[in-house]
Amino acid sequence: MYKCETCGASFEDQATYEKHMDDKVHLPECETCRRTFGTWSACDQHMDDTDHWAPRYDCQTCSREFFSQSAADQHMTAHLVNSKIHQADVVCPFCKLDYTSASGLIHHLEQGSCPDADILNRETILRIVHERDSQGVITNKQIDWHKEDSSQNSKTTNAFNGSFWECYLCHLEFGSATALGSHLSSPFHKQTVYHCPNSNDKCVKEFTTLAALFNHLESGACSCMGLEKVQKMVESIFQSWKPIDF
């Protein structure tokens, strides 16, 4: 889901969002004081000078927001540590490394960090889950799954604006092409493609990564299922070809 930060309108895909932004000619607006500017560079300079950047990374369990993904991850780990649910080890089915949570294991795989399953990443895992989740138990039925944009290299090397490497989506500026590439590869601009399976209590939480969904379930935020069942879900996803069912 894409949301216009000026008028609050939401859009299903990036193309519709960009058309809206072009049609409405929305002026760049400070994320804190709502002052408007004629150009994105002037707006960014203002937010740099006044420290008016808004936090962009939210906790998938509570409503807190953070200025970096690492800070959000550390906070969400605290949710698990402080949980009353007993935590057992979860073993990677490929490299056999131990993890203290299912979400930790999934994060390991979605980041492409497993040396024995380097073909797995956020996109390939989404494809596997989506193909087996025909009933939309945890994946959004309307998502249009596609491979990661192969032109990302050109979007980093050609993004230099004379001073910084600039994100073509949000106009954040970075000190190197590598930093911009990491930003584009992160869940920051990704669609929310997963949702909580707790339909009984009408939990409406949506997530950009499978790890974030599992973190939500493990935390007991909506009492959807026990930790043991969450861990069995991991085994069923990667060691069974049965349809996903909770």
Give the separation between CA 192 and CA 195, rounded to whole angstroms: 8
For 54-161, where are the E strands, in sequence order? 57-58, 65-66, 90-91, 98-99
pLDDT recorded at residue 95: 92
β-bridge pairing 10-11 and 2-3: antiparallel
pLDDT recorded at residue 246: 58
pLDDT recorded at residue 51: 82
Rounded CA Rg of the chain: 19
pLDDT recorded at residue 57: 73
* Cβ–Cβ < 8 Å for 179, 166: no
- Dihedral angle computed from the Cα positions of residues 22, 27, 28 and 29, in that order, rounded to the nearest 10 degrees: -130
Structure tokens at 222: 């909506």
* Cβ–Cβ < 8 Å for 177, 165: yes
pTM for the model stands at: 0.55
* Cβ–Cβ < 8 Å for 1, 192: yes
Task: Per-residue pLDDT tens, the chain, 246 aa: give them.
Answer: 566 766 767 777 767 766 776 676 677 778 788 788 877 788 888 888 888 887 767 776 666 777 777 777 777 666 655 554 444 478 898 999 888 788 889 989 988 889 999 889 888 898 888 888 888 888 887 545 444 444 454 556 678 888 888 887 777 788 888 878 777 766 666 778 899 888 777 788 888 889 989 888 888 777 777 777 787 777 778 766 566 665
Structural domain boundaries in the chain: 1-54
Give the separation between CA 182 and CA 166, rounded to whole angstroms: 12
pLDDT recorded at residue 39: 76
146 C-beta neighbours (distance < 10 Å), count: 9
